[in-house]
Chain A
Amino acid sequence: MTRLIHLFLVFALLSVLAVGGGTAVLPEMQHMTVHTFHWLTDAQFRNIYSLGQVAPGPNMLMVLVIGYQLAGWAGMVVVGIGFFLPDCVITLFVNRWWVHLGGWPWRTSIQRGLAPVAIGLMTSGTFAIARLSIVNVPTLAIAIAVFGILLWRHVNPGILVLVGGAVYMLLR
């Protein structure tokens, strides 16, 4: 029970702090689940993150697997509600309120000001996954190849990521 409460609180906190989306909270999520609560190892965290990359829909659905791994189906439900519900409620309220803020000059300031913070957090999230996964020359090559291909032309990123996994699996 204590674990369920902790899981809920951790993921609800991450939800509220997710300015810049899921990638932005990856470092904090890794820190909390691996270092603060010792729920997962770095490798487990990385592997579960990869599962989210394979599934359709938002990658951050992988938090459900974290919940399941730690506390079974109840853990999955608690983490799912904790991670998704607070943001949904916030967005619902702000959406209804937003039009009334049309003439408020700070609205643009908040938008413009939070954007670079969000980008910085996304950079940190990318870096966190890089630290866990770029372990040798082939993994570095895969990352660079995917980056280059995506800048070069429009490819379905899901397929590209699967190919990356397959290449590394077969490369031995």
Chain B
Amino acid sequence: MRQEGWLDDEGFLGAMEISETLPGLNAVNMAIIMGDNLRGLAGAAVSVIGMLLPGGIVVMVLGILYQSNHSNPDVKRFLLGIAAAAVGLLSAVTLQIGRRQFRQLPDIAIIILTFLAVSFVKLPLFVVLLGLGPISVWLYRPKVSKPRAQDEHLPFHRGPRHHLFRH
């Protein structure tokens, strides 16, 4: 991205922020945002297709091969080994993405509650999201800062409301 001069670091980080917060695969969300920022709707469509088409073709070829070979013991063992390796990979990725969250107490509590709710209580995902999502967002609610009370005593031209009109 940087090589092509398409995006600076700040734009990249901004896109990452949106991608991680919104539902959907990060890579796909990133493709949409970058495509949209560069060339609008058409850019977004082209970059998503570019992101999904090659892998989609390969996975379908593999899927068709799997259907005709699924009882082959070697294929079974190979795929089981891959799934086991994927567990190692997913653990490393989760730890990496959550490196900040795994170090903070309220975050650790939310992580554990979410994990227990999904994996052991087996609550439906939408229940978990609608239940724990708002609680967690509330924990990080905007701080009602004290300077705001002071702002009201500031001269009018420096007050917060006036600030809005300048933009």
Q: Which residues of B contact A23 (CB under 8 A)?
A: 90, 93-94
Q: With A65-B66, A123-B111 in contact, do A114 and B87 touch (Cβ < 8 Å)? A: no
Q: Contact between B29 and A91 (Cβ–Cβ < 8 Å)?
A: yes
The secondary structure that dominates the B interface is helix
The verdict on B74 contacting chain A, using a C-beta distance below 8 Å, is yes
- Tally of A interface residues using CB under 8 Å: 102
Say whether B59 contacts A90, CB under 8 Å: no
B162 near A: Cβ within 8 Å?
Answer: no
Taking a contact as CB atoms under 8 Å apart, the answer to whether B58 and A50 are in contact is: no
In the docked arrangement, what's the CA distance between A118 and B25, Å? 12
**Would you call B63 and A51 a contact (CB within 8 A)?**
yes
Could you tell me the distance between the alpha carbons of A23 and B37 in the complex, rounded to whole angstroms? Answer: 27
Q: Which of B2-10, B124-132, B150-158 contacts A (4 or more CB under 8 A)?
A: B124-132
Count chain B residues whose beta carbon lies closer than 8 angstroms to a beta carbon of A: 87
Q: Nearest CB to that of A65 among chain B residues?
A: B63
B residues within 8 A CB of A144?
A: 88
Residues B114 and A124 in contact, CB atoms below 8 Å apart? yes
Q: Which chain B residues in 4-40 approach chain A with CB under 8 Å? A: 14, 17-29, 32-33, 36-37
Q: What mask results when residues 103 to 145 of chain B are scored 1 for a CB within 8 Å of chain A, else 0?
A: 0001110111111001100101110110011001111111000
Nearest-neighbor residue (CB-CB) of B26 within chain A: A21
Residues on the A chain within 8 Å of B83, using CB: 46-47, 49-50, 53, 129, 132-133
Residues of A within 8 A of B (CB): 13, 15-19, 21-23, 25, 27-28, 31, 44, 46-62, 64-65, 68-69, 76, 80, 84, 86-88, 90-92, 94-96, 98, 105-106, 108-130, 132-135, 138-140, 142-151, 157, 160-169, 172
